[in-house]
Amino acid sequence: MGHIRIDHAITKRPTAGFHNGGGTAVVFGETSYSYAELDRRATALATRLRQLGVMRGDRILVLMYNRIEWFDVFFAAAKMHAVLVPGNYLSVASELEYLVDDADARFILAEPALADRLSFLLDRPAMTGRLLLTDGDLDGWSPLNTDSAVDELDDFPDGAGPDEPFLLQYTSGTTGLPKAAIHTQTTILFNALGQMADFGLLETDTYLGLSALCWTAGFHAFTLGVLLAGGRVVIHHSRGIVADEVCEVAARHGVTISALVPTIMRRLLETPGFTTERMSSFRLIVTGTEPVPEELITAMNAVLPRCAVVQAFGMTEILGSGIILRPEDAIERLGSVGKSSALTQVRVESPEHHDLADGSVGELVIRSAATAVGYWNRPAESAAAFADGWFHTGDLARIDEAGFIFVVGRTKDMIISGGLNIYPAEVERVLYQHPSVEEVTVVGIPDPLWGEAPVAVVVPRAEIDPEDLRAFAVERLSKYKVPRNWIFTDVPLPKTVSGKVRKFEVRAEVLQRSTVLEIARSSDHRRD
């Protein structure tokens, strides 16, 4: 990004400060492009899109697997001040129709393998000539070969664009329909700058991106930060992650940085090719999306003793990692999500918007130059969520005397049992420490005695005795916080594309279960 212009918020041309224009910027499979080539390709695509009628502010919904053209489209849209709307390739037609209508997408760009999911648009006369195909030929779609030369490239002079909408990044929808966080070129730039400051990104870094480029993590977890630093980005395909392939790619390219969710970390640790010698180039692994058990951190440190394993806490509205738990604190502050990152301010406040600096639980609010400016077409929700320049996360948290943040649940997830507050995230963190627990989530259900009662839904990693797990929890939690109902299942928990558990789906399913064969109830309902 230091070599490819995103309006005047980012460097327009390679300069003395960003001098790697001929160096490799992006690698995908056997294809690679230099910074200068990416700039030329983006300008050519922007020229072609302008010829097709794309105007400033037009929303372009993009539906592609990971492929090199994602970079062409991203930077082309930025050059011409269009608005990018990433579509999730896992979505079905009805979900994509919602995105198209909610964003009022004016143009659609898809690859042939996914175009059938957008076939409903063929019946819309207004979309004639606005359905664009990356390559190939399909009825109703206009081919748009991003490799084709343009006779004469348009000039895209700097204009008043850094604070206009540039990216509509849809939330994962943990509580209902997704909504689009509005990001500008400025918020994207500051996210990348923040990562440079937090993680010391250098021109010598090579980042391996495993996330889909349509997700928040795709472009905004190091991809743009490493490009801004002048490094190299290696993009993995998005047709499933095979641990042997990841090891081979990492070794071949000398990868120094990657973002790995705990599930992928476990897969790699079980892979013979993931060795200290072969992975010696790694200096940084960032993880998150769920609590990271101590045993997993210890195991990763044993294989990669010179690699820092950093836990990050972020969300669509703040793009990257607004809160970071560094490796030196990971064990001592187990359960914390860390401290605020370099360009981020964090507070915990009461329902009356008063600061809670004494370790009390309140709503976590965040402010930074990388924070979204609102939700698309949702003025009331925007006013509430982004009041006074602070993003109200909906997460319940406390901050200890050293400034470490502990997220204890969601405001809507909190369980009130017998007048006492139970925060699911606190209970989940404890249960995740049990070696036989693969996944767990805690939800509240109506209880005739206590009002609500916590239920733990557990996906075991190995055979587990419910009473042993309950005893494990009793040793580490106040008795009223210990789940009195347990569900054990081999089915993975339903999740959003960003890996967050869809608790409302879990709770709905739990409420349908009623027999003792389905719910193992604790034998001790008493409270001390």
Domain limit, last residue, from 162, 183, 204: 183
Confidence of residue 12 (pLDDT cuts 50, 70, 90): very low
Residue with tokens 């869809």: 502
Residue with tokens 């896992």: 90
Q: Outline where 353-451 has alpha helix (H).
A: 379-385, 424-432
User: Which candidate, 56, 32, 36, 33, places its Cα nearest to that of 46?
Assistant: 56
Q: Is the pLDDT of residue 33 over 90?
A: yes
Q: Which of 65-74, 303-312, 367-376, 393-402 has the lowest mean pLDDT?
A: 393-402
At 294-337, the pLDDT tens digits run 888 999 999 999 999 999 988 889 887 789 999 888 888 878 88
Residue 4 CA from chain centroid, whole number: 24
Looking at per-residue confidence, does 398 or 480 come out higher?
398
CB 36 within 8 A of CB 26: no
The pLDDT value recorded for residue 160 is 58
* Residue 378 neighbours by CB distance under 10 Å: 15
The pLDDT value recorded for residue 177 is 72
CB 43 within 8 A of CB 154: yes
Tokens (6 digits) for 24: 């490799």
Task: Tell whether 19 is covered by a domain.
Answer: no
Domain limit, last residue, from 183, 209, 230: 183
Task: Tell whether 46 is covered by a domain.
Answer: yes
Strands in 270-329 per DSSP E = 284-288, 308-314, 321-325
Q: Across the chain, what does the average pLDDT equal? A: 86
The pLDDT value recorded for residue 4 is 39
Burial class (CB in 10 A: 0-12, 13-18, 19+), 431: buried
Confidence of residue 159 (pLDDT cuts 50, 70, 90): low
Looking at per-residue confidence, does 386 or 17 come out higher?
386
Write out the H or E segment, with its range, that includes residue 421: strand 420-422
Confidence of residue 528 (pLDDT cuts 50, 70, 90): very low
- DSSP assigned state of 449: T
At 92-105, the pLDDT tens digits run 888 899 999 999 99
Task: Give the 3-state secondary structure of residue 207.
Answer: strand
* Residue 149 neighbours by CB distance under 10 Å: 8
The pLDDT value recorded for residue 505 is 84
Confidence of residue 50 (pLDDT cuts 50, 70, 90): very high
The pLDDT value recorded for residue 164 is 93
Q: Is the pLDDT of residue 5 over 50?
A: no
CB 407 within 8 A of CB 397: yes
The CA distance from 83 to 446, in Å, is 45
Q: Which of 209-213, 340-344, 372-376 has the lowest mean pLDDT?
A: 340-344
Confidence of residue 238 (pLDDT cuts 50, 70, 90): confident
Task: Tell whether 396 is covered by a domain.
Answer: no
The pLDDT value recorded for residue 9 is 37
Average pLDDT over residues 127-142: 94
Question: What's the pTM value of the predicted model, to 2 decimals?
Answer: 0.81
CATH of residue 442: 3.30.300.30
Q: Is the pLDDT of residue 153 over 90?
A: no
Its domain, for residue 417, covers 413-521
CATH of residue 132: 3.40.50.12780
The pLDDT value recorded for residue 16 is 30
The pLDDT value recorded for residue 150 is 75
The CA distance from 510 to 455, in Å, is 8
Burial class (CB in 10 A: 0-12, 13-18, 19+), 125: exposed
The pLDDT value recorded for residue 501 is 83
At 204-217, the pLDDT tens digits run 999 999 999 999 98
The pLDDT value recorded for residue 292 is 79
Q: Is the pLDDT of residue 527 over 60?
A: no
Tokens (6 digits) for 271: 């892979």
The CA distance from 271 to 254, in Å, is 18
User: Which candidate, 201, 183, 253, places its Cα nearest to that of 27?
Assistant: 253
3-state secondary structure 350-369: CCCCCECCCCCCEEEEEEEC
Task: Tell whether 487 is covered by a domain.
Answer: yes
Residue with tokens 């949702």: 378
Q: Is the pLDDT of residue 127 over 90?
A: yes
The pLDDT value recorded for residue 290 is 67
SS3 breakdown of the chain: % helix, strand, coil, rounded to 5? 30, 25, 45
CA count, 13 A, side-chain hemisphere, 202? 8
Q: Is the pLDDT of residue 518 over 60?
A: no
The pLDDT value recorded for residue 434 is 92
Q: Is the pLDDT of residue 250 over 90?
A: yes
Q: Is the pLDDT of residue 15 over 70?
A: no
Confidence of residue 21 (pLDDT cuts 50, 70, 90): low
Task: Tell whether 460 is covered by a domain.
Answer: yes
The pLDDT value recorded for residue 498 is 61
CB 174 within 8 A of CB 318: no
The pLDDT value recorded for residue 437 is 92
Task: Tell whether 217 is covered by a domain.
Answer: no
Percent of the chain whose pLDDT exceeds 70: 90
Tokens (6 digits) for 373: 């400016």
CB 342 within 8 A of CB 369: no
Number of domains in the chain: 2
User: Which candidate, 230, 133, 218, places its Cα nearest to that of 167?
Assistant: 218
CA count, 13 A, side-chain hemisphere, 350? 8
Domain limit, last residue, from 183, 200, 233: 183
Confidence of residue 524 (pLDDT cuts 50, 70, 90): very low
- DSSP assigned state of 495: B
Average pLDDT over residues 403-409: 87
At 253-266, the pLDDT tens digits run 999 999 998 888 98
Task: Tell whether 371 is covered by a domain.
Answer: no
User: Which candidate, 501, 27, 502, 496, places its Cα nearest to that of 215?
Assistant: 496
Report the chain's terminal Cα–Cα distance, integer Å. 58
Torsion over CA of 11, 12, 13 and 18, rounded to 10 degrees? Answer: 0
The pLDDT value recorded for residue 512 is 77
Q: Which of 114-118, 175-179, 449-453, 455-459 has the lowest mean pLDDT?
A: 175-179
Tokens (6 digits) for 472: 């494990």
CB 243 within 8 A of CB 261: no
